[in-house]
């Protein structure tokens, strides 16, 4: 099979959200890998959104600690990402050999922390650091792969905007991720602490919980100190790991570079009571933390004077089922007029994929195409004539029973400054149940502009 000049050779891996194919191309001599999202019947819509995130982030990354980006495929034809195929294996096969000698664990830790520091300097938090997402080059550098759950702190975060549950890999998720804080670089430091603990003891510090209730335990319950599980672990290594595993990010290493420096020379690590712990905190202390948790705040971002007022978020709710092309044109014109005086504005194009309250829904239409993807393509087509700068427009297909509730929830959760939406033609159903635009206008936390086609009777 060929796709845009790339020849698919063999299936290399099937993950939870995508498949990886070994591919070749006549213009590229190096080994290549193509990532294709799963968008079939019953597949998670998060797979589409996370793939969009990776398509946004990976082309912006460079250096030896990330795979080299080669090409992207659009959702309008066939979505894919092509990147260099690294010859080495991930850390995942090493799980059968745990626990590893301390010298090997610290060496791995230094290389991963160095890779994280390089990533963070490019404004990206990985948020899914785990053994299977770490590969080593033949020259020794750690390479971080799979940026589907990552956050670029200078770009819109589609995962945060569209979903209300935390995403990540349970054994390595930081407490703030569970609270849906996705912008803190120190979340990756916590994940690295979990990995080092696991590799040095053969035991995961917080187990592998499968429910949100189990994940939340790490907000108040500390792990068994590593030295209680492996007596060969020196106090300095325990100090480094337990500092990385602090619940409050402010008590962890402030940067991955500082953690790398500590692991390079354990003899220089200042020791605190963490280093000599042999037991978990008393039950009474854990109980106190559970019912009186220490607040975890998102990292502060320094705004430039006037930055917020010059960079509003304008949400455009577009009903793609509406057959009126004139109304869509009016929506576009109105949006252009709103943002023309604010060059740093961001436009969020939103469509609601209505689902049944009781009956089962299908993810594919009658022709076998993914409904979510089709609407995503239509949104992008509508926005092309806005002529907005790259990264200034985002696209969101939200699945909901009640369209008005979904629009209002998105606006509240994402601090929308202005909602633009169209008024549909009069109908018996709208007369009985009320209009979506009327409900949004009545309850929105921001300005709402309802656009009406003059050809439509003014019954709204």
Residue 103 belongs to a domain with what CATH number?
1.10.510.10
Average pLDDT taken over every residue of the chain: 89
Q: Read off the CATH number of the domain in which 408 is found.
A: 3.40.50.620
Beta-carbon contacts of 119 under 8 Å, excluding residues fewer than 6 positions away, are 61, 65, 66, 125, 126, 144, 188
Domain boundary among 57, 84, 111: 84
Task: Look at residue 424 in the predicted model and tell me its pLDDT.
Answer: 65
**Tell me, what's the pLDDT at 44?**
76
What is the average per-residue pLDDT within 22-44? 89
Shared-domain flag, residues 47 and 101: no
178 shares its domain with 102: yes
Structure tokens at 337: 């007029």
Please state the rounded mean pLDDT for residues 147-166: 91
The answer to whether residue 457 is domain-embedded is no
pLDDT digits (tens, 9 = 90+) for 233-273: 999 999 999 999 999 999 999 999 999 999 999 999 999 99
Asked which of 160-164, 340-344, 447-451 is least confident by mean pLDDT, the reply is 340-344
Which one is predicted more confidently, 189 or 395?
Answer: 189
Residues 129 and 263 in one domain: yes
The alpha-helical segments, DSSP class H, found in 179-225 are 186-201, 212-215
- The residues that bridge with 399 in the sheet, in sequence order, are 353
Tell me, yes or no, whether 140 and 285 share the same domain: yes
Q: Which pLDDT does position 319 carry in this prediction?
A: 87
Are residues 232 and 356 located together in one domain of the fold? no
Evaluate the CA torsion angle 1, 27, 61, 264 in order and state its sign: positive
Give the model confidence (pLDDT) of 117-138 as tens digits.
999 999 999 999 999 999 999 9
Instruction: Give, as one character, the DSSP assignment of residue 341.
Output: T
Does residue 287 share a domain with residue 209?
yes
Give the range among 56-60, 124-128, 140-144, 322-326 with minimum mean pLDDT.
322-326
In a domain, 459, yes or no: no
Mind listing the pLDDT tens digit for each residue in 277-317? Answer: 999 999 999 999 999 988 998 887 544 434 445 678 899 99
User: Do 122 and 263 lie in a common domain?
Assistant: yes
User: What pLDDT, on a 0 to 100 scale, did the predictor assign at position 310?
Assistant: 65
Work out the burial of residue 443: count CB atoms within 10 Å of its CB; fewer than 13 is exposed, 13-18 middle, 19 or more buried. Answer: middle
Tokens 């060969």 correspond to: 232
pLDDT of residue 247: 96
Is the N-terminal amide bond of 99 cis, ω within 30° of 0?
yes
* Mean pLDDT to the nearest integer, 66-80: 93
Please answer whether residues 262 and 269 qualify as being in contact, where contact means their C-beta atoms are separated by less than 8 angstroms.
yes
Domain end among 25, 60, 84: 84
Q: Look at 360 and 98; give whichever has higher pLDDT.
A: 98
- Flag whether 460 is in a domain: no
Least confident of 99-103, 142-146, 419-423: 419-423
pLDDT, tens digit (0-9, with 9 covering 90-100), for 409-425: 988 888 888 999 988 66
Domain identity same for 76 and 96:
no
Which of 79-83, 199-203, 272-276, 389-393 shows the lowest mean pLDDT across its residues?
389-393
Q: How many residues does the chain have?
A: 460
Q: What is the pLDDT of residue 298?
A: 86
pLDDT, position 254: 93
User: Greater confidence, 217 or 346?
Assistant: 217
Looking at residue 456, what is its pLDDT? Answer: 47
Looking at residue 39, what is its pLDDT? Answer: 81
Range of the domain at 264: 92-291
Strand partners for 125: 151
């Amino acid at each position: 099979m060929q796709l845009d000049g790339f020849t698919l050779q063999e299936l290399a891996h099937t993950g939870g959200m995508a498949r990886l194919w070994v591919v070749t191309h006549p213009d590229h001599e190096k080994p290549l890998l193509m990532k294709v999202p799963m968008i079939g019947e019953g597949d998670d819509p998060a797979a589409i959104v996370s793939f969009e995130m990776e398509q946004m982030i990976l082309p912006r990354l460079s250096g030896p600690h990330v795979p080299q980006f080669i090409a992207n495929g659009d959702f309008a034809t066939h979505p894919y990402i092509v990147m260099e195929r690294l010859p080495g294996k991930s850390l995942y096969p090493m799980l059968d050999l745990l626990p590893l000698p301390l010298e090997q664990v610290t060496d791995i830790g230094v290389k991963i922390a160095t890779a994280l520091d390089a990533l963070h300097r490019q404004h990206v938090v990985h948020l899914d650091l785990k053994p299977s997402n770490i590969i080593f080059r033949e020259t020794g550098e750690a390479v971080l792969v799979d940026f589907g759950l990552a956050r670029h702190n200078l770009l819109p975060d589609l995962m945060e905007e569209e979903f209300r549950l935390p995403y990540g890999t349970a054994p390595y998720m930081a407490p703030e991720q569970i609270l849906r804080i996705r912008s803190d670089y120190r979340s990756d430091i916590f994940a690295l602490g979990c990995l080092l603990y696991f590799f040095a003891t053969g035991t995961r510090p917080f187990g592998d919980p499968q429910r949100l209730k189990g994940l939340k335990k790490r907000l108040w319950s500390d792990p068994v100190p590593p030295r209680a599980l492996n007596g060969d672990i020196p106090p300095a290594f325990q100090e480094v790991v337990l500092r990385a595993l602090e619940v409050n990010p402010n008590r962890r290493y402030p940067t991955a570079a500082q953690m790398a420096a500590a692991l390079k020379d354990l003899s220089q690590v200042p020791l605190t009571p963490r280093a000599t712990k042999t037991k978990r905190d008393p039950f009474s202390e854990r109980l106190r933390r559970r019912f009186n948790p220490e607040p975890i705040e998102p990292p502060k971002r320094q705004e430039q004077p006037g930055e917020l007022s010059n960079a509003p978020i304008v949400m455009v709710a577009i009903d793609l089922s509406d057959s009126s092309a004139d109304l869509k044109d009016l929506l576009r014109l109105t949006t252009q007029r709103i943002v023309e005086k604010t060059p740093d504005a961001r436009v969020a194009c939103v469509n609601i994929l209505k689902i049944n309250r009781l009956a089962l829904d299908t993810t594919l239409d009658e022709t076998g195409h993914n409904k979510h993807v089709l609407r995503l393509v239509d949104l992008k087509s509508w926005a092309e004539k806005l002529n907005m700068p790259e990264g200034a427009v985002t696209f969101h297909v939200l699945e909901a029973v009640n369209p008005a509730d979904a629009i209002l929830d998105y606006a509240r959760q994402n601090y929308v400054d202005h909602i633009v939406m169209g008024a549909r033609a009069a109908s018996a159903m709208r007369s009985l149940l009320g209009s979506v635009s009327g409900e949004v206008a009545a309850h929105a936390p921001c300005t709402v502009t309802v656009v009406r086609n003059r050809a439509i009777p003014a019954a709204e």
